[in-house]
Structures are given as structure tokens and as C-alpha cells.
Amino acid sequence: MSLLSWLLPRKKPVLSLEQHERLMRLPPATELGDTPMRTQRWVVVDLETSGLNLNRDQVLSIGAVVIEDGAIDFSQAFERTLLRPDNPLSPSMLLHELGPAAIAAGSDPADALLDFMAFVGDSPVLAFHAPFDQHMLTRALKDSLGYRLQHPFLDVAGMAPMLCPQVNQREAGLDQWINHFNLQVEDRHNASADALATAELALILFSRARTQGIDTPQALQQRLNQWQRRKQMHSF
């Protein structure tokens, strides 16, 4: 890849007929519901990427779990490693313990992303530092499938301090919250395990939200938006 390749017009991805049909069958995203929290299906996602650069780094693996009927459902889980033959070994891979061999053994990115979007369906997505995951997924879906991601994303990293204001943790990361709630995580820094930890955190936060009169996913989103706006205003 040339250094100037990002200046050139992007090539449209080439999909097989079958991949194209699957793409067409994906359900459209829906808005967050105005029904009780418990009736909402959520997908909690965590990505492993080749680095933190929003424009250059790539999604290496996706781990996701589902919250349905107010509980994490172990019968629904998603876990894929993406085939990235041209990706050089970067420091973040050590963090993720995902060696080149595991990445090489992965699935074709287009197939993996189609599988993932079918798994997501029309559900909203939760993630810790959701804007990052949202951005990386949007770009990967556009590059590999020419698909426009429109699902609502809610940031658990924002929900946590909003719903637990008494916890004095400024800009706390997932690790700090895991420690704060004493969550037992078997194998951190793996997309699936981090997604599960994020989902457990989300269940605690949903419970706290209920005691604060937040009864619907829509209300939660509104409160989160307000809180984030206010926080930005304060920081000016």
C-alpha cells in the first residue's frame, strides 16, 4: 500500500453474490424503544483493533454478548477473528494477546462483519467508550461491505459516572469500574471477556437507572445526551 493511497478515491468493495444477498437481507436499525427496559434487546460489543488510530487502524476481532429479558443470555454470543494478512504486528497486539497466527486463522472480514450484523439485527449497541467502537465498525463496514452503520450506540463509559455520581472516578476506564464493582472477569483483554465485563457493568447500571426513575431505553439515551452536553459545557 502506498503512502498516498488514502488520497486516492476508495475502491468499492467486491462482494460475492451470496455476500451481496446477505447484505440486502440485513434488517434496518431501529430507534431506541419507549417500552420498559427489560423488553429491550441489547448487543454489547468490544473490538480488538490494531491500534487506537481512528483512520488507519483495523478491526482485528469482535466479541459481543446479548442482554435480553434483563439478563445476559449465554446462548447468544458472538466471537470472530478477522483475517488481516497485511496487518503488521503492532504493540497493541501484545495487549490483546492475539498473535499473528490467531489473526491469520480468522475469517474473511466481509463474512465476519456480515455474521456480526446479522447477530446485531435491529438491536441498539452498548460499548465501553462506544464512540471508538462505533467509528471503527462504521469504517470497517463501509470498507468491507459498503454498508452504512446506523444503529444507535450508548456509551457505558458515560452511563457509569452519570448513574453513580458518588463514585469519585474521573475518566475511569473499564478496569477501574470492574474493580469498583468487584466484578470477576476470567480473562481480560480479550474482546469476548471485555464485552461480558461491559455487559455485567451495564446490568448494574440498568438497575441503578431504574432506582433513579429511568424506565425506558429512550429515557436513558436522553439523560445520557443531556449529561454529556452538560459535561462538555462545564469543560469549556
Partner 1 sequence: MLQNIHGTMQFLQRFPPFNQMENTHLAYLVEQCQLRFYAPGESIIRPTDGPVEHFYIVKQGRVVGERTHLGREEAQTTFEITAGECFPLAALLGERATRTEHRAAEDTFCLQLNKLAFIKLFGLSDEFRDFALRGVSSLLDKVNQQVQQKAAETLGTQYSLNTRLGELAMRHPVTCAPTVALREAVRLMHEQQVGSIVIVDEHKSPLGIFTLRDLRQVVANGIEDFAQAIDLHMTPDPFYLSPDHSAFDAAVAMTERHIAHVCLVKDQRLCGVVSERDLFSLQRVDLVHLARTIRHAPRLDTLINLRGEIGQLVERMLAHGASSTQITHLITQLNDHTVCRVIELVLAEKGDPGVPFTWLCFGSEGRREQTLHTDQDNGILFEAQDGAQAAEIRERLLPIAQQINHYLAACGFTLCKGNIMAGNPDLCLSRTEWARRFAAFIREATPENLLASTIYFDLRVVWGDEQGCEQLRRGILGQVADNRLFQRMMADNALRHRPPVGRFREFVLERKGGDKATLDLKVQGLTPFVDGARLLALANGVSANNTLERLRQLVALEVIEPLDGAAYEEAYHFIQQTRMQQHQLQTRENRPYSNRVDPDSLNQLDRRILREALRQAQRLQSSLALRYQL
Least Å distance, CB 68 to partner 1, is 8
Q: Which stretch binds partner 1 (CB under 8 A): 94-102, 103-111, 191-199, 223-231?
A: 191-199
Does position 166 interact with partner 1 (CB under 8 A)? The reply is no
Residue 89 near residue 97, CB atoms below 8 Å = no
Strand pairing category for 125-127 and 153-155: parallel
127 part of the interface to partner 1, by CB under 8 A = no
Choice from 90, 138, 161, 181 touching partner 1 (CB under 8 A): 181
Least separation in angstroms between CB 47 and partner 1: 14
Phi, psi of 193 (to 5 degrees): -65, -40
Contact segment (CB under 8 A) with partner 1 among 3-11, 72-80, 171-179, 225-233 equals: 72-80
CB of 40 to partner 1, least distance (A): 15
Q: Is 93 in the site for partner 1 (CB under 8 A)?
A: no
Residue 172 phi, psi dihedral angles, 5° rounding? -70, 145
SS3 170: coil
- Residue among 48, 111, 155, 200 that touches partner 1 (CB under 8 A): 200
Q: d(Cα 44, Cα 91) in Å, to the nearest integer?
A: 25
Residue 217 sits in the site that holds partner 1 (CB under 8 A): no
Q: If binding is defined by CB under 8 A, does position 183 make contact with partner 1?
A: yes
Contact 160, 176 (CB under 8 A): no
Report the first-to-last Cα separation within the chain, whole angstroms: 41
Least distance to partner 1, CB of residue 74, Å? 5
* C-alpha dihedral (4, 99, 194, 83), degrees to nearest 10: 60
Which amino acid does the sequence have at 153? F
Question: Nine-digit cell at 59?
Answer: 478491526
Which of 1, 86, 90 has the alpha carbon at shortest distance from 52? 90
Size of the site for partner 1 (CB under 8 A): 31
x-or-dash pattern for partner 1, window 27-66, by CB under 8 A? ------------------------------------x-x-
Which residues sit at the interface with partner 1, rule CB under 8 A? 63, 65, 69-75, 77, 79, 181-187, 190, 192-193, 195-196, 199-200, 203-204, 206-208, 211
